[in-house]
Amino acid sequence: MKKELEKAIELRNNGDYQESNKLLIKLVENDPNDAFINYQCAWSFDVLGEESRAVPYYEKAIRLGLSGKELEGALLGLGSTYRTLGEYEKSQETFLKGIKIFPNNMAIQAFYSMTLYNLNEYSAAMELLLKCLVDTTSDKDILQYRKAIDFYADKLDNVWE
């Protein structure tokens, strides 16, 4: 089974998403309670653009006790998938859980800012995205204005005279 799983991941990495997905579905059928295989299967549906089919595999992987980098990826994937399906409250709940467990993961926060946008929380979305930008960029022009961007991030609606 380990070799088949490695092959499925390699197929996905090489862009053969359909074959990878077929193999991962078989692996899940053979071992439905393996959190890692469920996560990989969810991911395989995501890359195929079949987000609604990915959801139950993400949910099950997390429920089965996925941990570490895999849990980090699954929470990001599930939160993003919920968002693309218009399930913004579920997306928010998932991202907040991810941010609580992985506070230093800026990708989770950037994706969460998109959910905030969809929830019409524009100021919070922009603030979070701007903070992610200044905390992660190596662009010298942005870094030159880091203090100003950081200062204004939560004051976008303020007007100074």
Q: Give the pLDDT confidence score for residue 160 in this predicted structure.
A: 86
Over residues 125-145, mean pLDDT: 96
The tokens of 94 are what? Answer: 């998932």
Over residues 13-25, mean pLDDT: 96
Q: Give the pLDDT confidence score for residue 161 in this predicted structure.
A: 86
Compute the distance between CA of residue 151 and CA of residue 156 in angstroms, rounded to an integer: 10
Q: For 131-159, b where at least 16 C-beta lie within 10 A, e where not — what string?
A: bbbbeeeeeeeeeeeeeebeeebeeeeee
- Alpha carbon of 80 to those of 98, 132, 138: distances in Å? 11, 17, 25
